[in-house]
Structure 1
Amino acid sequence: MESYNQFGQRIGPELPEWTTREMPEKVSLRGLYCNVIPLAIDHAEDLFPEWHSIEDERDWTYLEGDRPKDKAACYAWLRELIAHKERYYFSVQDQKDDQVKGIFYIGKVDPDNGSFDISEINWTPLMKRTRSSTESLYLILAYFFDNLKYRRCEWRTSIYNAEGTRSAERIGFVKEGVLRDKKVRKGHSTDIAVFSITRKEWPGIASMITAWLREENFDGLGHQLQKLSALRRY
C-alpha cells in the first residue's frame, strides 16, 4: 500500500513489525536428494578430481578464482575460503554417495535490511543439470526466507555468463538491471547483471520448486516429466 509522510511525499510501504534479522549460522540443511553443509577443507578430496574431469577451465571463466592446479593448491584454496570473514561457504553433498559435488557462498548479509546474496556457484560436471543443483539453492533460500525471515536475495553474474543467467531466471530470480563496468575480473572489465527474489515472491517460487522436486515428477530414468517453468504460478 502506498504511504505518504507528513509533507505529502510518497514513501514505501510501512513495516511496523520489522526488526533486525538474526545473522545466519553455518548450518547443515537436508533435502530429498542432497545436503547443504558447511565447506570443509577435506572436501577437496571430492572436488579436485571432478574439477579436473574435463580438460579445460571453461567452467571457471566467470568465477573469481582459477581452477587449482593440484590437490595441495586445492586444499590451500578451500582453507582460504573457509577463513573468509564476510562469506559463508557451503558445499553440496549428494545423498546417494555422500560425495561433495559443488560449492557456493552466501555474502553481503545485511540483517538490518534483511538481504543477502548467493554467489560463486561452482558445480562440478557431476552436479550440473541435476535435481541437487536446484534443491541445494532451494534449501538455502528457504533457510533465509522461512527460518530467518529475510526480505531479499540477490544473484549477480557477468552479463556474458549465459548459463548463470539461465539458472537464475529458471529458479525464479527477476532481472533488475546491469551495473556497468562494475568489476575487473581476470584482467577484463565486467558488466554485472543483478537478479533478485523478494519475500513476497518467495511463497510462489517455493511452491514451484517443491512441486518440481517431487519424486513423481521424474520417470524411472530420472528424466523430468514437467519442467520447472511449467509449474510456475506466480
Structure 2
Amino acid sequence: MRYNEYNQPVGDFIEYYSPGILPNIQSIIGKTVTIEKINIKHCDDLYEIYGVSSEPENLTYMPIQRFESKLEFKDYLIQLIASVDPYYLTIIDNQTQKAVGTFSLMRIDNLNWVIEMGWVVYSPLFKRSREATEA
C-alpha cells in the first residue's frame, strides 16, 4: 500500500492505466424497460413528453421550454441524436414499447473515467414507478 506525504493510504499505483472511451450504447434490455440511444423513431412518443400539451413542470430544470410544434421538436431531437457530450438515451417501456422518458450521460471525462447522469425527463405516467427506478 502506498502512502502520501500526510501518511494517508492512497492505494496501489496503477501501472497500465488507459483512459476510458466515450459511450456507445445501442440498447440495454432490462426487466421492465429498455434503454436505447435516442433515435428519430422516438419522435412521436417523446413529443408527448416535450410538446405543447405536456406538463410544463416536466422541463423546470431543463434549458428548454415545451415545443410548440412536432417539427420544432424534431429539429431539437436531431441535435440530441448528433450530440456526443451529453450523450442522450431514451427509456422504452417493455410492455407498451413506447418511449416514456429520456436522460443523458454528460460531463464525460474519459481521462479520469468520470461520467454524470442528467437532463432526466420522464412521462408523468412513468414517474415514481418501478420502471423509473430500473431506468
Is TM (by shorter chain) over 0.5?
yes
Give the CA deviation at 1:47: 1.5
Once the two structures are superposed, the pairs formed by residues 47-58 of structure 1 within 5 Å of their partners are: 47-52=46-51, 56-58=55-57
Conservation of the 8 A alpha-carbon contact between 1:3 and 1:14: no
1:16: which partner in 2?
14
1:45: which partner in 2?
44
Q: 1:76 to 1:84 in 2, by over 3 A?
A: same
Give the CA deviation at 1:111: 1.9
Structure number having the greater helix percentage:
1
1:34: which partner in 2?
33
Q: Which has the higher contact order (CA 8 A, sep 6+)?
A: 2
1:110: which partner in 2?
109
Q: CA offsets per residue over residues 89-134 of structure 1, 9 Å max, x none?
A: 1000000010001001101222221110001001111211112211
Q: CA offsets per residue over residues 47-76 of structure 1, 9 Å max, x none?
A: 212445866411111112111111111111
Give the CA deviation at 1:86: 2.1
Structure 2 regions of 5+ residues with no counterpart? none
Distance 2:52 2:128 in 1: 16
Q: How many residues align?
A: 133
Q: 1:49 to 1:24 in 2, by over 3 A?
A: closer
- Partner-residue secondary structure (3-state), 2:76: helix
Conservation of the 8 A alpha-carbon contact between 1:102 and 1:123: yes
- TM-score, normalised via structure 2 length: 0.85
**CA RMSD between the two structures:** 2.2
Q: 1:134 to 1:15 in 2, by over 3 A?
A: farther
Q: 1:55 to 1:80 in 2, by over 3 A?
A: closer
Distance 2:65 2:103 in 1: 15
Distance 2:33 2:54 in 1: 27
Give the CA deviation at 1:22: 3.0
- Partner-residue secondary structure (3-state), 2:23: coil
Q: CA offsets per residue over residues 28-53 of structure 1, 9 Å max, x none?
A: 10000000001012312112124458
1:130: which partner in 2?
129
- Matched residues, percent identical? 23
Distance 1:53 1:132 in 2: 25
- TM-score, normalised via structure 1 length: 0.51
- Partner-residue secondary structure (3-state), 1:44: helix
